[in-house]
Amino acid sequence: MASSSYSNSPCAACKFLRRKCMPDCIFAPYFPPEEPQKFANVHKIFGASNVSKLLNEVQPHQREDAVNSLAYEAEARIKDPVYGCVGAISVLQRQVIRLQKELDATNADLIRYTCNEMPTQDGRRIGEGGGASSLAHSPGYYYPSPWNNDPLADGYHRGDNNM
């Protein structure tokens, strides 16, 4: 938790609002004078009065987390006024889904290649001879995951139709 030195410089909030920073200032511990942009962003999005009310309603041990959340959301809203941090979360979720699909495909390839190297009883390798039970022509193995688009988790209802 940062703190403002009351005798030297007012906190970023009081400096921004052009008022005297009192020793009991609700903003001082969370908006140090070294971080003026942090308060400017929060004020622009939420307003100083609303932030003050929120900090007074939150338990003292939770205030720092509340201010950090407000600052993060305010910065995200300035960068993306429509979606804010939800836009960033959405981008990351899509990236996780894409990477999960890539991992699933790689695991399927690994299993397929491993099975193709295993000899059968007659000495042939699986996949040789072009039999109907050949794994070489199978679409691959599927592992249900909470990150892919398979609401029934049965391997047939994937959103990508790449089976």
d(C-alpha 152, C-alpha 116), whole Å: 30
pLDDT for residue 136: 44
pLDDT for residue 128: 54
pLDDT for residue 116: 83
pLDDT for residue 121: 67
pLDDT for residue 138: 45
d(C-alpha 28, C-alpha 145), whole Å: 46
Domain ranges of the chain: 12-79, 82-115
Helix (H) / strand (E) element for 87: namely: helix 85-116
Predicted TM-score (pTM) of the model is: 0.58
pLDDT for residue 134: 45
pLDDT for residue 114: 87
Q: Is 138 helix (H, G, I), strand (E, B) or coil?
A: coil
Average pLDDT of each block of 10 consecutive residues along the chain (163 residues)? 57 95 94 95 96 95 96 94 92 96 95 80 58 46 52 51 47
d(C-alpha 16, C-alpha 86), whole Å: 28
